[in-house]
Structure 1
Amino acid sequence: MEEKDHIQEVAGWVLRELQGDESRELKQELSRFVAASEENARLYARLKNQDFLATRLQEYRAYEESKERNWERLQEYVSAGKRKTARTFYLPRVWWAAASIMLLLGAGFYFWRSRQIPASSQQIAHVTDVPAGQAGAILTLSDGRQVSLDTITNGVIALQSGVTAKVVNGNLYYEGNGTKIAYNIMNTPRGRQYQLTLPDGTQAWLNSFSSIRYPTVFTGNKREVEITGEVYLEVAKDAQAPFYVNVKNKAKVQVLGTSFNINAYEDNSEIYTTLLEGSVRISKDNAAVNLHPGQQAILREAPQPINVLDNVEIDKVLAWKNGAFNFEDVTLAEAMKQLERWYDIEVVIEKDVPANLPFYGKISRTLSLQKLLDALDQTDLKFRIEQHRKLIITK
């Protein structure tokens, strides 16, 4: 029997127990399971914790929604022969068990449990918790004025040299033909992300702690922007005016019309460019490479400035854009950097905790920090939220 099926069988036993089954057969099955290992005993205790089950249901549903959004795009690549393999989606083992119980019990159990939580407990959680990030950004206009876009859903932001900047349904757009070139800068602070449409129709999504500098109107025979942090771009096609991305003044990406993601945070010496559709040419110093869909270029310092990987996991690269964290094959330190940027927190990893500890799993970015940490409670690490938005990690 596969491990996932075994865990679901255990979930069925716990479900029967929660429903009042006191048969000798069930008690014997559970006793043997708990006595088999400490891991089994911990799993059994968690599955009896109703608050734990309610939280797992929320995460399971968020995960399923994110998985469906990614699956259609992955199928397109597989059917087109652009990807040779597609990784199987999975949840950590304890989630299968918790989700099995919750889905069998039904949503009514979750809502019943929500109503039973005392008000004092809710207040304490509110004080110690940190909310998830949200849509928002700071727009710096050509005259130096700054506009917070956090709470603007619709409305005109500014008129700059004949070009109108306005927000429509939470996204920034530009309209009009400018009389002269003026530059805007969009910054997403920690805990924010944002989507905008550039003057040429190019779509840009900014992850938290990122920026993009661009003209309010593109003129001449090329279009050029500058970015920091992480940005996903769907470039409007214009063969007469190639699109260029200047990355931290260290590398340049040339585009004709394509979809790609660039990860170039200041706290990482490497720059990652992942191509979904079309083609791009990446240059750094005297080196240059052309990417094909499904490839990723990693830019490092000399002697080998550019390395190309094939068949990268697109769903992992775009997890942030699709509302999820994807911690597969990353270290503890790398995962915590993502949490720092999204929750606007400071993470302190104690000396006895190895920063290169392997991490795994996928989880929604819509969860508060405490709920996300509850999901990570299955690890051997301990997480503690302190004042001033500080997260302490110990053994």
Structure 2
Amino acid sequence: MDPIIKKQRIASLILKEKIDELSKSEKEELTSWLQASPKNKKIYARLQEKSFSEDIARYQQISTTRGLDNYRRRYVQTNKRLLGKWYWAAAVAVFIIGIATLFFYQEEHPTVAKTTISPGSSKAMLILNNGEIISLSEKNKTEIVATEELSIRNEGSRLRYTASENTKNEQANNYNELIVPKGGEFTLTLSDGTKVWLNSQSKIRYPVIFNDITREVYLEGEAYFEVAKDPQHPFHVNARNGVNIEVLGTSFNVRSYTDENAIETVLEEGSVRMSQGKDAVILSPGNKAVYLPNEPIQLTTVNTELYTAWRHGQYIFMEESVENILKQLSRWYDIEVFYSNEAAKSVVFSGDVRKYDDINTLLEAMEIAGGIHFRINGKTLIVSYSE
């Protein structure tokens, strides 16, 4: 068994033993592990001296309906979609990672450098139609444009466009571009009321106001859309390689980074059509559509929180490779990742990280869970793996 999976498994058995949920077969499994080496017995004995009351309370809350309801009230419109079994499973997996961290700290200390890698923040660059470049951040809240017809305001972490009813259609030919760098995030409210959350290393091009026929934007990177309903004017997101997502009014996530082959759309509410040339699929809530060059668009059913948690300040990983995890985190923490051996890329890990914490907590958990080692050199994270 993979060492990471094995350690997480033993951690889960010890947890179950403490809350009297250990089955007969699981008790035999734990006993077998204890008898395998004197080292295991020492670790187990040390753990009996510790109190895990807070962690057990957290586990028990996660495994109840109340725990899920709390999450829904905070982030999810309860009546419109359910988290289902996946979130419970992910939450338990995340908890077990935490217990495994405490558990195996008895066995080996983390070697990750204590250099702090700070998280990103709200920042972006706005390019106006006339070529003027404006830096946006929490520090420079300001009214960028203020006329009777149009207002463009930087509210610190959100750029808001407001158009009056008598705004001239010629404004529809004026395009702005919002660019979010590595280590940044920003929110945009378009002139029709559509809200867009832009993830790190992303950019969107859009008209100051939309024309009388359609609403079209151009995306590179990742963004979450809450599209204002307007059946008479379909909303289109144009991604790379001629991929187009058409909606009338809905909430969905689009991921289209230039350093990734796949372009994916995950739908939370409403209905969208994803197409590339003559190939097209219709998504229902809970669907993910993936386009890869020279392949038909693939449609699957997923739990959407796995793909949209970043909008709520959290990254959640469920059986993801270290390569995929660090690719996402490198954008937010503005770091480069170097692998000293290829084996490190394919190690699988489940866990989560709050976007606004430094990265060390997650790295330590991954190290202790088994095999993976990290070293920080300035803004470069060096990753290695040993069996």
Work out whether residues 344 and 389 of structure 1, in 8 Å CA contact, stay in contact via their aligned partners in 2: no
* 1:319 match: secondary structure: helix
* 1:187 match: secondary structure: strand
Alignment of 1:8 with 2:10, yes or no, is no
Identity percentage over the alignment? 32
2:336 corresponding residue in structure 1: 346
2:88 corresponding residue in structure 1: 88
The one-letter amino acid paired with 1:143 is N
Alignment of 1:40-189 (within 5 A): 40=40, 68-70=70-72, 73=76, 75-76=78-79, 86-89=86-89, 90-92=92-94, 93-96=96-99, 125=114, 128-152=115-139, 154-159=141-146, 162-168=149-155, 170-177=157-164, 178-179=167-168, 180-181=170-171, 182-189=174-181
1:257 corresponding residue in structure 2: 249
Greater RCO (CA < 8 Å, at least 6 residues apart): 2
How many residues end up aligned between the 2 structures?
Answer: 340
User: 1:217 & 1:45 partners in 2: Cα distance?
Assistant: 67
1:342 Cα offset (Å): 1.0
Alignment of 1:387 with 2:378, yes or no, is yes
User: 2:343 & 2:12 partners in 1: Cα distance?
Assistant: 33
1:214 Cα offset (Å): 0.6
User: 1:265 & 1:163 partners in 2: Cα distance?
Assistant: 32
The one-letter amino acid paired with 1:393 is S
2:355 corresponding residue in structure 1: 365
User: 2:141 & 2:150 partners in 1: Cα distance?
Assistant: 17
In structure 2, do the counterparts of structure 1 residues 390 and 356 end up closer, same or farther at CA, with 3 Å as the change threshold?
Answer: closer
TM-score by length of 1: 0.74
User: 2:286 & 2:16 partners in 1: Cα distance?
Assistant: 38
1:9 Cα offset (Å): 7.2
Aligned alpha-carbon RMSD (Å) = 3.8
In structure 2, do the counterparts of structure 1 residues 47 and 75 end up closer, same or farther at CA, with 3 Å as the change threshold?
Answer: farther
In structure 2, do the counterparts of structure 1 residues 160 and 381 end up closer, same or farther at CA, with 3 Å as the change threshold?
Answer: farther
Where does structure 2 lack aligned partners over 5 or more consecutive residues? 1-8, 20-31, 104-112
The one-letter amino acid paired with 2:376 is I
User: 1:38 & 1:296 partners in 2: Cα distance?
Assistant: 48
Alignment of 1:213 with 2:213, yes or no, is no
Larger deviation, residues 265-274 vs 159-168? 159-168
The one-letter amino acid paired with 1:265 is Y
User: 1:76 & 1:355 partners in 2: Cα distance?
Assistant: 39
In structure 2, do the counterparts of structure 1 residues 381 and 162 end up closer, same or farther at CA, with 3 Å as the change threshold?
Answer: same
User: 1:8 & 1:68 partners in 2: Cα distance?
Assistant: 23
1:183 Cα offset (Å): 1.0
TM-score by length of 2: 0.75
In structure 2, do the counterparts of structure 1 residues 9 and 245 end up closer, same or farther at CA, with 3 Å as the change threshold?
Answer: closer
In structure 2, do the counterparts of structure 1 residues 222 and 369 end up closer, same or farther at CA, with 3 Å as the change threshold?
Answer: same
1:157 Cα offset (Å): 2.2
2:236 corresponding residue in structure 1: 244
1:175 Cα offset (Å): 2.1
